Structure 1
Amino acid sequence: MSHFPASLTASEPWKRLQSLAALDLFPHCISLSAPENIHGMLAREIAEMILCLNRTGGDDCTACRAWSGEDHPDLVRGGEPGKAPAIDACREVIRAMAYRPVVSHKRCAVIFSAERMLLPAANSLLKLAEEPPVHGVVFFLVSEEERLLPTLKSRAWTVSLRDGKKTEKKPVPSSPEEWGRWVEKNSGSEIDDVLPQFEPWIRHLVESGDHEGAGKAERLRILLESRRLSRTMALDLTVLALKEGIVFEHLFGDFW
């Protein structure tokens, strides 16, 4: 990462990306917002983590040795920094992602300048964003501004790597009494009121070195963002996952 801005590699969002990559908990569709001048480097760094067999990037595994300049047999690009792909290029990405990985454990697609895509091009990617191939796929929509087509944005987990105000950090409730107070406090809340509470928890877990806990909280937040669970189910699942430690991902299948 010698050419990647140190301010970004040290940032909390980047550390969360690293944690999710290490735990193999990446959602299959991710919207990344970052300054356009680093989009090329960003795509390379992300792809290295995703495609590495050890999920770290830059080591001597078979997948990392397969890089040839900026190309990799399991990396597919649509468009280029500053230039969004046209519909034909998007269709080519879809075709390429249908193939199984060559040397890695999954395939990675990067769509550049995603917010500038014309409507037909953006619409062509909806199925890939919503119903990825059964083999491993991670699909990145890289943009400078968070102005994706709403139907596409609703299917993606959004991460901003732009400078901004730091989110406060706060420990996750630990004792039964603290969890009881948390549930009571949120018993009349909507999902939109509960979701912002995850950010301080995740930040605290990351800075405390508990990357596994941060990954679980992040994954849970992504599930709740789908808004397919009722308020009561969301509160119960949060307690079961973060207090009791249940593994919840397999319970929902393709619910994500």
Structure 2
Amino acid sequence: MSSHASVDDTAARSALELEQIMAPALASRHARVRGFLHRLAANPPQVILMEGGTVEERAAMSLYWAALLNCTLDASQGERPCLACSACAQMIARHHRDMFFLDGREESIKIDDVRAVRGVLGEPPRDNGQRMVILCEAQSLGVEAANALLKSLEEPRPGTSFVLLAPQRERLLPTLVSRSWVLTLAWPESGATEGAAAGPQEVEAGEWGDALAEFARTGSGWFQRTASKGSLDNGVAQRVVVYCQRELAAAITGRSQSDLARLYAGVDSLVHRRIDEVLAECQESLVYNVNPAIVMDWLATRVALLCSARRS
């Protein structure tokens, strides 16, 4: 194979990878948010909080924003971001020297991570665009890290744009939210994905959700499910937690179609926040391979206590 062919194949593969990374942000259901970002680009706010959508959609949209603020395509040549110039490609791949991407998807964002970013904030961006500081799943910030970040947000940082990503704004400290321009991506569909029938795993998660709502109301049925041999493993438990998180978002936004979402809708915002914290703890426990039956029983007990104590 010639060297030219090898280079071409590498470039094509890289372009395909970038396209796959950006695909969630380019979906038609997020056209409204992309329109807002284009209007904000002329005078970008220091902090944007992106909620809603899925984890992948929030991450992709933050990279779209980074590309938009740093694209080198001349406005007379086409619409920005071009997603093809060197600056766009490096931002999307998270290789740009003005990109800081703190990823809280697998573990908490530590104070040392925030301190490392703060160490360069007093300097101008290295290139001609904006320095981007993206905190993916910012709800995983530890208390010390959140306070350190707050100090950075309290001081004007010309040339620097912060992006906080979280499922719902309620997952973050109110002081962080108050300093942010909040953009809400289209919420994940309750149940099946848009335009598609629910698959077996989605149906199973929904059945667990119905059982959780029934247990919270009557105190019956749940422990028989978790004790049933072969009915619960780590994968099932993780899907149940994700389902519970999605139905909480549905209840908060007034889309209470499932039994579980209707249960959530019957309590106040303080309970919503506490349920969200419980779900986050369950998710973390499952990552560390705590027995899924124990995690699910704790989840059910906490949700039932919270909902019975604080009916709105």
TM-score with structure 1 length normalisation?
Answer: 0.55
Following superposition, the deviation at residue 164 of structure 1 comes to 8.1
1:162 matched to 2:186? The reply is: yes
Matching residue within 4, 13, 16 for 2:36: 16
Q: Whole-Å Cα distance in 1 between the matches of residues 30 and 172 of structure 2?
A: 25
Higher RCO (C-alpha 8 Å, min separation 6): 1
Matching of residues 79-90 of structure 1 within 5 Å: 79-90=103-114
Matching residue within 75, 78, 81 for 1:57: 81
Whose helix fraction is larger, Structure 1's or Structure 2's?
A: 2
Which residue matches 1:138? 161
Following superposition, the deviation at residue 91 of structure 1 comes to 1.0
Which residue matches 2:96? 72
Structure 2: gaps (5+ residues): 1-17, 190-312
Moved over 6 A (4+): none
Which residue matches 2:145? 121
**CA-to-aligned-CA distance 1:115-136 (integer Å, 9 cap, x gap):** 2212111110112212133x31
Matching of residues 145-156 of structure 1 within 5 Å: 145-146=168-169, 147-156=171-180
Q: Whole-Å Cα distance in 1 between the matches of residues 177 and 159 of structure 2?
A: 21
Is this contact kept in 2: 1:29–1:157, CA < 8 A?
yes
Structure 1: gaps (5+ residues): 166-256
Which residue matches 1:7? 28
- Which amino acid letter does the alignment assign opposite residue 14 of structure 1? R
Identity %: 28
- CA 1:129/1:105 → structure 2, altered by over 3 Å: closer, same or farther? same
**CA-to-aligned-CA distance 1:23-66 (integer Å, 9 cap, x gap):** x2221011111311334322322211122245822366663465
**CA-to-aligned-CA distance 1:59-102 (integer Å, 9 cap, x gap):** 66663465584311111112343544111101112123332112
Which residue matches 1:33? 51
- Which amino acid letter does the alignment assign opposite residue 109 of structure 1? V
User: For 1:158, what is the secondary structure of its paired residue?
Assistant: strand
Q: Whole-Å Cα distance in 1 between the matches of residues 34 and 40 of structure 2?
A: 10
Following superposition, the deviation at residue 137 of structure 1 comes to 1.0
Q: Whole-Å Cα distance in 2 between the matches of residues 18 and 113 of structure 1?
A: 23
Matching of residues 203-222 of structure 1 within 5 Å: none
TM-score with structure 2 length normalisation?
Answer: 0.46
Q: Whole-Å Cα distance in 1 between the matches of residues 117 and 93 of structure 2?
A: 20
- Tell me how large the CA RMSD over aligned residues is: 2.7
Is this contact kept in 2: 1:31–1:141, CA < 8 A?
yes
- Which amino acid letter does the alignment assign opposite residue 27 of structure 1? P
User: For 1:97, what is the secondary structure of its paired residue?
Assistant: coil
Is this contact kept in 1: 2:67–2:83, CA < 8 A?
no
Which residue matches 1:44? 63
How many residues are matched? Answer: 161
